[in-house]
Amino acid sequence: MNENLDGIVAKYERNKKEFQWFIEKYFGIDMVKKLDILAEEKNQPLLFNMLNNIWFELPDSKFNIMENSKGWREFLEVIEV
């Protein structure tokens, strides 16, 4: 496994309370549940891919360094490998 992916689940678990609100808002509670299941199963590659896809689909006007929405920094910490 890619060494960089090893900490994704741990970072997700540590930070998820900060950013789950916007995943639920833009993608629904089912997406939050899917991510939690992937983390529980330690499926790091798929968890990373889904979080990365979420990053691409979030509205740029609200989620960027300048706006720095609540949880944004914590979310980026998870997906930056």
pLDDT tens column, 27-43: 999 999 999 999 999 99
**What pTM did the predictor assign?**
0.87
Q: How far apart are CA 45 and CA 43, in angstroms?
A: 6
Cα separation, 35 vs 58, in Å, equals 16
Give strand ranges (E) for 1-81: none
pLDDT of the residue at 67: 83
Do 24 and 73 contact (CB within 8 A), yes or no? no
Evaluate if residue 49 carries a pLDDT over 50.
yes
Q: What is the pLDDT of residues 8-27, one digit of tens each?
A: 999 999 999 999 999 999 99
